[in-house]
Structure 1
Amino acid sequence: MKIAIIGATGFVGTAIRKEAVSRGHQVLALTRSPQKITPSSVLAVREIDVNDSEALAQALAGYDVVVHAFAPPRSDSVQERIARQTRGTQSIIKAAKQAGIERLVVVGGAGTAEVAPGVPLMNSYFFPPEYEGGARSTAAIKELLQAEKSIDWVFVSPPNILEAGVRTGNYRTGKDNLVIELASGRSYLSVEDYALAMLDEIENPRHHRQRFTVGT
């Protein structure tokens, strides 16, 4: 497949990029830091401003699927992150439509995953306040996607703890619930296994215009 990844040098975007390349796909890495990636015969690299929807549409033309892994800097305030993510996502959606992209696979956040029916993690009493910026900004992505009718999107929410680790090849999925380990009670997944779940969904789509959750 031809897969374009927006935000291909970020924490999650890097893992997705490596997983896609390892599976033999033709990958386009779109990033504001192209110097961080070495191009190859299966990996093209292009510097892009996510807010330039015209340039983005030109770059995306001809690709089978687009991965939205764009995230504002963590150093921004909560409101700045929400505003920047909203603008960036609006631009990505506009560009994808203009380029004729039918499938948009989005890196979601754990904050919108439910810890009880109708209760998202980010609204629970035990949610760490230092994660609010990421949670609220990715929630803005989900809201924008839910208003879309003409593009086939999927929003993939990770567990509460997503960190660099080992690619085990194992993960579990849920629908809206935060995926929690039964034995330990924690919600965890390595970013390598998160990328695995993303590529499995890209290669064999099972979710359409909806969110699903992943974890161990």
Structure 2
Amino acid sequence: MKIALLGATGPTGLEFVNEALDNGHEVIALVRNPEKITVKNENFKVLKVNILKEDELSENFKQCDAVVSCLGSPPSWLSLTTVTLYLDSIKVITSAMRKAGVKRLVCMSSMCSKSEPGNPIWVEWVLKPLALGKPLQNMAQMEDYLTSQCSDLDFTVVRPPGLVNGPSTGKRIDVSESQYVVGAEWSMPRRDVAKFMLSCVADSLWLKKIIAVGFPK
């Protein structure tokens, strides 16, 4: 399978690169700073693009089976910085996919992107006010755009819990069409998230779905 990847210079994106290559897939990383990537593989290509330019993306989406986005934005401490990356990028990505004739999209969001009854108090009253409010709000806008404007595409949005570094655990991953997986652990290695996202690329189980993932305790 040939996969176009955005966000390959980030820690989760890099794990996706390694997971996909380890499983024999071909990956094209479309990045702003190619010098940040040191991975070498005959099935891996790194191209410098402006991720907010539709024509640059669509040209490189051609002949790809799927597009994966691991794009991420840093925390907005005390919500002082406006975050627009998620919505801005998904509008360009989906438009470029249509132009290139690619329908399968898997992208990463986060647990509790939307404030809903039942969300953990420590997320709503600590993490969001201190650092994650603006990024999560923009992730929610991205999700709403996909569900309201992209019914013609086969998208899957994955909401992981807190991301940590480290090897894959091999644990079973529970899935829920909700803000978070109730009773699950609050963190997950990036490699396990990457492995799950890769499985979604070829799996039709979660088409046009927004799903939370987590390890059962």
TM-score with structure 1 setting the length: 0.87
Q: Aligned partners of 2:127 and 2:158: how far apart in 1?
A: 19
Question: Unaligned stretches of 5+ in structure 2?
Answer: none
AA paired with 2:151?
Answer: K
Report SS of the residue matched to 1:104: strand
Shift of 1:138: 1.2
- Write the letter of the residue equivalent to 1:18: N
Partners of 1:124 and 1:73 in 2: how far apart?
Answer: 18
> Deviation string for 1:155-196 (max 9, x for gaps)?
00001x2111230122221111412446xxx42211111111
Query: 1:115-157 deviations in whole A, cap 9, x for unaligned?
Result: 746x598983354421113211211210110111211101000
Q: Please list every run of 5 or more consecutive structure 1 residues that lacks an aligned counterpart in the other structure.
A: none
Q: Deviations over 1:10-60 (max 9, x none)?
A: 122111111111111011111112112244211011011111101110011
Q: 1:35 aligns to what?
A: 35
Partner of 1:194: 193
Secondary structure of the residue that 1:197 maps to in structure 2?
helix
| Structure 1 match to 2:65 | 64
Structure 1 vs Structure 2 CA RMSD: 2.4
SS of equivalent residue, structure 2 residue 72: coil
For 2:151, the equivalent position in structure 1 comes to 149
Partner residue in 2 for 1:54: 55
C-alpha change, 1:6 and 1:176, in structure 2 (3 Å) is same
Q: Distance in 1 between matches of 2:59 and 2:117?
A: 43
After TM superposition, the structure 1 stretch with the greater mean CA deviation from structure 2, 167-176 or 122-131, is 122-131
1:70 Cα deviation after fit: 2.0
Write the distance in 1 (CA, Å) between the matches of 2:188 and 2:122: 18
Q: In the alignment, which residue of structure 2 is the partner of 1:134?
A: 135
Which secondary structure does the structure 1 equivalent of 2:112 belong to? helix
Change (3 A) 1:122 1:26: farther
Pairing 1:114-193 to 2, within 5 Å after superposition: 116=117, 124-129=124-129, 130-147=131-148, 148-159=150-161, 161-170=162-171, 171-181=173-183, 186-193=185-192
